[in-house]
Structure 1
Amino acid sequence: MNRKELFDIANTWFEGQGWQPFPFQTQTWTAFLQGKNGLLNAPTGSGKTYALWIPVVLDYIKKNPDYKTKHKPGLKAIWITPLRALSVEIKQAAERVANELDTQLTVGIRTGDTTTAERSRQKKKMPDLLVTTPESMQLMLASKDYPKIFKSCTAIIIDEWHELLGTKRGVQTELALSRLKTVAPKMRIWGVSATIGNLQQAMEVLLGAESEALQNSVMIKAHLNKKINVLSVLPEKMDAYPWRGHMGLHLVDEVAEIIKKSKTTLIFTNVRSACEIWYQALLEKYPEFAGEMAMHHGSINRETRQWVEQAIRDEQLKAVVCTSSLDLGVDFAPVETVVQIGGPKGVARFLQRAGRSGHRPGQESNIYFLATHAIELVEASALRRAVAETVVEDRIPYLNSWDVLVQYLVTLAVSDGFYPDEIFKEVKSTFCYQAITEEDWQFCLNFITKGSQSLQAYDEYKKVEIEDDGKFKVNSRSIALRHRMQIGTIVGDAVMKVKYFSGGYIGTIEEWFISKLNPGDVFIFAGRKLELYRVKNMEVLVKRADPKAKATHASWMGGRLTLSAQMSELLREEMYAANTDDMSNELKALYPVFERQRKESIVPDEDEFLIETFKTREGYHAIFYPFEGRYVHEALASLLAFRISLLSPITFSLAYNDYGFELLSDKEIDMQQVLDNNLFTPEHLHSDLQRSLNATEMARRKFRDIAVIAGLVFTGYPGKVVKTKHLQSSSQLIFEVFRDYEPDNLLFQQAYRETFEHQLEEGRLLLALERIEHQQIVWKQCEKPTPFSFPIITDRLRERLSSETLAERIKRMTANYMK
């Protein structure tokens, strides 16, 4: 069958659905049938699933002209998705094509949710088309005779590649691909990605730097000018002294109006605790929403989440309050409107959420932005410009993740075993390990066979045996079992199941939150008031609480997001625009704030770096405004405090938000001395950072995750999870052994490298200091706190006061400062 005949089959099928293929879809079909690899850049809701399932099926038809009567069993294609929640829809799309074209192709799912019975069936007979996750893919590589399963595979498609890139799950995927290229040489590799800043690099990471696959590849972009309307919800009265603590709840009525006007609305919050609070606030004020409104976040049990997703599709729900759990690909055609509460901190995340509304080719997306405090309106203004100019973040890929490589080598040793020379070539062909040396490789091999230099005396670290022919193999069943249970790179805090005492599973909550409660305490979780009955075997037993009882909201450690580099740059540009006539509606609405700011200090310009000092009853405040995001400010505050303390002995308490940071002391900083000594210099940044922060403590915390991934510590069997504090102490012991006896251990060094690169964002910090060096430093000695400094001060107060007294105290402070 030639290409025209194949395309006729596809086009006829499309017509039958009442559709017409987009140019990017037909381009993808052509490239795929020509045997090319590639990256498809397309927004969600544009038809990317059919851009790749169709050519997979057409390729099968081409090779089997008698496809309607003769079926050739065996795995033909794998679709990897980062989210289990998406697997059902991807399967349904594949089945629709396969069945309606009478191909007899079978479609299956293999994720953590797949039943044992279904897995056994798949072992005997693989489906033709398989939908799976990066973790389940690794588990398949850990099964005996895996090359037989994969050798007939002609395509592997990695969905939402932008989400995997820049994470260790992405590294896991790179390693799996390096193996499959050898096992199934005819396999085509395709990635699907939403818009990111570094698309070309994303393709290199997917296909392997300088690989043959990359030379025979193509990048296809979907040009569908989708219109996104960004609408800011502006409060009637603007506080001249804005503060972060009130969550934007004073705009509950405005949100209710948006819900009433739309068929279905998704209300996105950045964190799970805000999701719970907003759901409760809307229900309390608008009881008529009961039954028409639901909540969706990662800690609620799977059945409830799936019910909510289906109810959105069936148009049974008017509103859903959710977190990033609904960010990705789930196809909800009826969603008309999206509300974003608080700054999403990144352009890509905002576009992703906006795309959830009008989730059909050709439809407009409407997203309302609701600022949780006045200055966040600057973010709204910046986002509108980013949407217009399509400025999107880069995703920075990981390099040299030794923990993931160690886990992968044990995975291969658990299945059929491996020969190091063959696997070394494959590993070196990946982007992540392109710079691996023979010494690094030898370290990894020694690590899995002897447990590294300093752990040689302990048998539990000798997992892999070297057989007579040089093959590396795991022969112990218990080691193999423990390894299979711990495959994966997502390491979170220990979570505990929340169950009713009388039976019935509600969801999961973090151990640290429950450890602060006593039996009889009432907390709000999954939209219900629950009374803690007791904690037993990592299970939280609860009963329904009195609806009138006072309760605390459940909270999670995965707390605050920080501004991305692109977002901070946009934010600074908007801030500078406040001094011009070219102001957006949001900036105009902030007029009272800017007016008050200029009265007490200045609104800095592009070539100015602002420092404010003033005294209150708490002490002497020095506030700096780099507008670089929370994590950079955290590192910068410690760095500056350390450098100042070298000039004269002084103690500080630090506070920071996305806009600036504060050094608070009981004695005055000699600011002239700070400026004369050029304390913002980028010189000696790394060594000063190491000395200023407790870098060892941070690396020790980072090492816990590395130790879990590398299999140095065991997280426990199902139902008998090891507590976080035990994991922490076991990994700390190993950390200290490496520090004292084996400082050149690659995993030990990785803990420090990841701390500086990923947590402290050292690269961004360096760029920020270089920028400040070229700006004129404006030091304003103020009489009292300014509107810009107010959110930073109140954030610190919040740690000490309960919310009622905080609101009252802020009211009093504001009245005082307005005099």
Structure 2
Amino acid sequence: MKNENPYQIAEDWFQHRNWKPFPFQKQTWKAVLEGKNGLLNAPTGSGKTFALWIGIVLNYLNKNPDAFTKPKKGLKAVWITPLRALSVEIQQATQQFCDEIGLDFTVGIRTGDTSTQDRAKQKKNMPDLLITTPESLHLLLASKGYDKTFKNLDAIVIDEWHELLGSKRGVQVELGLSRLKTICNTLQIWGISATIGNLQQAQEVLLGPDSEALQNSVLIKAHIQKKIKVESIIPEKMERFPWRGHLGLHLLEDIIPILKKSRTTLIFTNTRSQCELWFQAILSKHPEFAGEIAMHHGSINKETRLWVEGAIRNESLKAVVCTSSLDLGVDFAPVETIIQIGGPKGVARFLQRAGRSGHQPGKESVIYFLPTHAIELIEASALQKAVKETVVEDRIPYLLSFDVLIQYLTTLAVSDGFYPEHIFKEVQQTFCFQAISEAQWKWVLNFITKGSQTLENYDEFQKVDIEEDGKFKVNNRGVAMRHRLSIGTIVSDAMLQVKYVKGGYVGTIEEWFISKLKPGDVFTFAGRNLELFQVKEMKVLVKKSKQKSAKVPSWMGGRMSFSSQMSDLLREELYKANHPNRSKEIKALSSLFERQKRESIVPEPHQFLIETFKSREGYHAVFYPFEGRFVHEAMGSLMAYRMSLLQPITFSIAFNDYGFELLSDQEIDMQQVLDNDLFTTKYLTDDLEKSLNATEMARRKFRDIAVIAGLVFQGYPNKLLKSKHLQSSSQLLFNVFKDFEPDNLLYQQAYRETFEHTLEEGRLIQAMERIMKQNIVWKACEKPTPFSFPIITDRLREKLTSEKVEDRIRRMMAQLEKD
């Protein structure tokens, strides 16, 4: 193909495929050709890969008229994706366009899955487009002569920017971009994001506040109205005392007709353990689905995951039970139906999942919502409203993440070294470090060379040398190797490989779950019942088991909380319980609400409900902010602490997404509580620190910070340190800083992140300010109410084994129904 009008090349290619480009795609091509940077906001499955990749190719052809006949070798564009699983999709789409227009471009992938051979080939001869992850980009920056690799780079695209933004991986991207901007004078930076609440800020974080890149940028929105239909699966008989113990499995038969009539269905669960349970339950009740149903979650081995993804594409599978491992971008045109088990806890996550069906422009997405207990139907109603009004969450960017900065500076020192005065200017231009002071910068430099004032006598913390000309450089090969192995900001519990005794890899599982099992115990994993044989090095050796009952693994990431937008929507729907124009979900809960009104009240917008009652366990006080479990954990501890100042009293605390319970063996003087203004936001940080054992939470947070900053080495591949060793090493350092160096920036960061991200202090303040304006209604009840029942049963589950809990709850329900 000759190099004609660049737009014509794109138009002809679309026409050849019987497609028509969307206005947003043309707009993006134009912006890229004009040399602009930007953020493209487009829903999943709308053709955003072609919008940017075609723009980049057209721009290159414009600048290089002889590109078809005399292509130049070397890296021209980098595409960063948060998930390795997405890279194959992007590679196929981008390579296809180049091949079909006759352009001799190669598209390569470089992620944690790339073989050593392929990496060596790339080192000698880089592809024209490289698809990689934030971690692999930093590994390239840690290699000698990286500036030569990137010197002819024209463009960089950050895919799924909304996913990276609210995490330290986003900070990694910001720092990587700050370096590339200096090396490549004409670098164009583009981000792709699904809808988030703070799009303008997302663009500012990507391009850097007050930067030239931001001034020469555009925000392009794909105004594609995605039709989403939400269908709730409403039980015929509504429970009046809801609890989440059965994980929705009592409605299993309701989804079987949906599975049978759809060509392909994705069944989304919120946790890996729930995924395992649902997969087993469907197969045991309906063995006819054997061979037609599979499972997909992050701990299953890569080969199985790729096989499942391929099988969805070619429609050889009827259904896949999955987790958020299939949330993002993997392109499954044939998926017809989505089923969501339980509340997804966030609007954006729900919309993302809904978009997996009808995953083509113009197609309607259908998502079925299956509640795991009755009150989740309020969530279903709230989500329908969110879909109608396109309400989505903000993603909050991290600020002053010194652990990531320390890792990044060590990366630069490992490769070609750096001069602090040059790098300081670049770092200051990022959103994360726009407020970094000279004193903090000097502290960080001191830390990488000497290891801070309390560690300067230990050689292992003195990683970077200062050379005669003032260059900071790592000269020790051992330090360089350990650092390259540690690049990244995802710190999780140690993962163990699950293998059969006779050979064969099953997947990975968290150490903390396996540490609770003994040889001979049977657990469910990857759809099979496995008997633990032994744990050897970092491997869990197992045998197949025919035993019917088994423990289901739970993963640390299993407990999600409501987003603030979800909480607002939920309260609005709840307040409609007393109004005639209710949704069908709220109407279905009529018997539950009637029972709640008999025992207590269903609060109105101006009311805040507190219930108290006595049981054989003691005296209960239940509060209902409807703000999500993280806020309730903090608020419950705060209330307990403030009450204990009024009278000597001890509480146990339970909480879920709807409220929290304080249980004591002595009567709570609730009137005294109300008279003493306990919901005030005055002295909040102080009281929180005392009430929550914030030091213990900060100590846990510090473990991750210590690993990212390179204070604690996680170990070599296949010889990883056990998490308890990591924990004890980081705790030792935490205690040293606490006692001898309280102004240590990493120590202070642990507290800051605990309050800002774990406890969501900002949301807690807003919730308490709202409660202060409401009328507080205290109801002294005779017994547990329908609203309080899920919180009580959650607490029982923490104490008792599952068999005992189910029996106990059934007895409680029978007693309450009889009363």
Q: TM-score band (shorter)? A: over 0.9
Compared CA separation, residues 394 and 3, structure 1 to 2 (3 A):
farther
Q: Distance in 1 between matches of 2:417 and 2:802?
A: 58
Q: Distance in 1 between matches of 2:732 and 2:518?
A: 31
Amino acid at match of 2:811: R
Deviation at 1:813, TM superposition (A): 1.3
Deviation at 1:807, TM superposition (A): 2.4
2:436 corresponds to: 436
Asked whether the 8 Å contact 2:535–2:541 carries over to 1, the reply is yes
1:120 corresponds to: 120
Deviation at 1:106, TM superposition (A): 1.1
Aligned pairs for 1:298-377 within 5 A: 298-377=298-377
Deviation at 1:203, TM superposition (A): 0.1
Aligned pairs for 1:591-670 within 5 A: 591-670=590-669
Aligned to 1:614, what secondary structure does the other structure show?
strand
Q: Distance in 2 between matches of 1:135 and 1:800?
A: 40
1:178 corresponds to: 178
Q: Distance in 2 between matches of 1:249 and 1:569?
A: 28
Aligned pairs for 1:412-561 within 5 A: 412-546=412-546, 548-561=547-560
2:569 corresponds to: 570
Q: Distance in 2 between matches of 1:31 and 1:146?
A: 29
Asked whether the 8 Å contact 2:613–2:620 carries over to 1, the reply is yes
Deviation at 1:4, TM superposition (A): 8.2
Q: Distance in 2 between matches of 1:471 and 1:64?
A: 37
Q: Distance in 1 between matches of 2:550 and 2:677?
A: 50
Q: Distance in 1 between matches of 2:575 and 2:717?
A: 54
Q: Deviations over 1:785-807 (max 9, x none)?
A: 10000000011111223323322
Deviation at 1:520, TM superposition (A): 1.2
2:159 corresponds to: 159
Amino acid at match of 1:572: R
Amino acid at match of 2:588: A
Q: Distance in 1 between matches of 2:554 and 2:672?
A: 43
Compared CA separation, residues 69 and 616, structure 1 to 2 (3 A):
same
Q: Distance in 2 between matches of 1:4 and 1:717?
A: 53
Q: Distance in 2 between matches of 1:225 and 1:511?
A: 44
Amino acid at match of 1:153: L
In the alignment, is residue 710 of structure 1 matched against residue 709 of structure 2? yes
Asked whether the 8 Å contact 2:3–2:66 carries over to 1, the reply is no
Aligned to 1:444, what secondary structure does the other structure show?
helix
Q: Which moved more, 1:758-767 or 1:517-526?
A: 517-526
Deviation at 1:554, TM superposition (A): 1.7
Q: Distance in 1 between matches of 2:503 and 2:363?
A: 45
Q: Distance in 2 between matches of 1:800 and 1:394?
A: 36
1:135 corresponds to: 135
Q: Which moved more, 1:379-388 or 1:792-801?
A: 792-801
Asked whether the 8 Å contact 1:264–1:337 carries over to 2, the reply is yes
Q: Distance in 2 between matches of 1:3 and 1:69?
A: 10
In the alignment, is residue 23 of structure 1 matched against residue 23 of structure 2? yes
Q: Distance in 1 between matches of 2:504 and 2:375?
A: 44
Aligned to 1:553, what secondary structure does the other structure show?
coil
Asked whether the 8 Å contact 1:522–1:549 carries over to 2, the reply is no
Q: Distance in 2 between matches of 1:541 and 1:811?
A: 38
Amino acid at match of 1:272: R
Aligned to 2:5, what secondary structure does the other structure show?
helix
Amino acid at match of 1:421: E
Aligned to 2:578, what secondary structure does the other structure show?
coil
Asked whether the 8 Å contact 2:3–2:65 carries over to 1, the reply is no
Amino acid at match of 1:13: W
Q: Which moved more, 1:164-173 or 1:513-522?
A: 513-522
Aligned pairs for 1:77-156 within 5 A: 77-156=77-156
Q: Deviations over 1:124-174 (max 9, x none)?
A: 110011100000000000000001110100000000000000100000000
Q: Distance in 2 between matches of 1:743 and 1:654?
A: 31
Q: Distance in 1 between matches of 2:801 and 2:204?
A: 51
Amino acid at match of 1:271: T
Aligned to 1:542, what secondary structure does the other structure show?
strand
Amino acid at match of 2:511: E
Deviation at 1:2, TM superposition (A): 13
Q: Distance in 2 between matches of 1:87 and 1:713?
A: 31
Compared CA separation, residues 211 and 2, structure 1 to 2 (3 A):
farther
Asked whether the 8 Å contact 1:450–1:456 carries over to 2, the reply is yes
TM-score computed with the length of structure 2 as normaliser? 0.99
Q: Deviations over 1:430-469 (max 9, x none)?
A: 0000000000100110000000111000000000000000
2:291 corresponds to: 291
Q: Deviations over 1:318-340 (max 9, x none)?
A: 00000000000000001000000
Q: Distance in 1 between matches of 2:434 and 2:66?
A: 44
Amino acid at match of 1:674: V
Aligned to 1:529, what secondary structure does the other structure show?
strand
Q: Distance in 1 between matches of 2:711 and 2:808?
A: 49
Amino acid at match of 2:779: K
TM-score computed with the length of structure 1 as normaliser? 0.99
Amino acid at match of 2:754: T
Compared CA separation, residues 814 and 549, structure 1 to 2 (3 A):
closer
2:211 corresponds to: 211
Deviation at 1:518, TM superposition (A): 1.3
2:244 corresponds to: 244
Q: Which moved more, 1:149-158 or 1:512-521?
A: 512-521
Deviation at 1:56, TM superposition (A): 1.2
Aligned to 1:298, what secondary structure does the other structure show?
coil
Deviation at 1:549, TM superposition (A): 4.2
- Give ranges in structure 2 of 5+ residues lacking alignment: none
1:790 corresponds to: 789
Aligned to 1:668, what secondary structure does the other structure show?
coil
Compared CA separation, residues 561 and 111, structure 1 to 2 (3 A):
same
Amino acid at match of 1:166: G
Deviation at 1:3, TM superposition (A): 11
Number of positions where the alignment pairs a residue of Structure 1 with one of Structure 2: 818
Q: Distance in 1 between matches of 2:223 and 2:43?
A: 9
Q: Percent identity?
A: 71
Q: Deviations over 1:89-136 (max 9, x none)?
A: 101111011111111111100101111111111111100111000000
1:773 corresponds to: 772
Amino acid at match of 2:79: W
Deviation at 1:246, TM superposition (A): 1.0
2:196 corresponds to: 196
Amino acid at match of 1:760: L
1:727 corresponds to: 726
1:589 corresponds to: 588
Q: Distance in 2 between matches of 1:404 and 1:18?
A: 47
Aligned pairs for 1:263-302 within 5 A: 263-302=263-302
Q: Distance in 2 between matches of 1:550 and 1:182?
A: 60
Deviation at 1:516, TM superposition (A): 1.3
Asked whether the 8 Å contact 2:596–2:786 carries over to 1, the reply is yes
1:75 corresponds to: 75
Q: Distance in 2 between matches of 1:2 and 1:350?
A: 45
Asked whether the 8 Å contact 1:29–1:51 carries over to 2, the reply is yes
1:698 corresponds to: 697
Amino acid at match of 1:730: S
Deviation at 1:426, TM superposition (A): 0.2
1:393 corresponds to: 393
1:48 corresponds to: 48
1:757 corresponds to: 756
Q: Distance in 1 between matches of 2:360 and 2:321?
A: 22
Q: Deviations over 1:12-41 (max 9, x none)?
A: 001111100000000000000000000000
Q: Distance in 2 between matches of 1:417 and 1:596?
A: 70
- Give ranges in structure 1 of 5+ residues lacking alignment: none
Deviation at 1:815, TM superposition (A): 2.1
Asked whether the 8 Å contact 2:499–2:541 carries over to 1, the reply is yes
User: What is the RMSD of the two structures over their aligned residues, measured on CA atoms?
Assistant: 1.1
2:673 corresponds to: 674
Q: Distance in 2 between matches of 1:370 and 1:614?
A: 32
Deviation at 1:695, TM superposition (A): 0.6
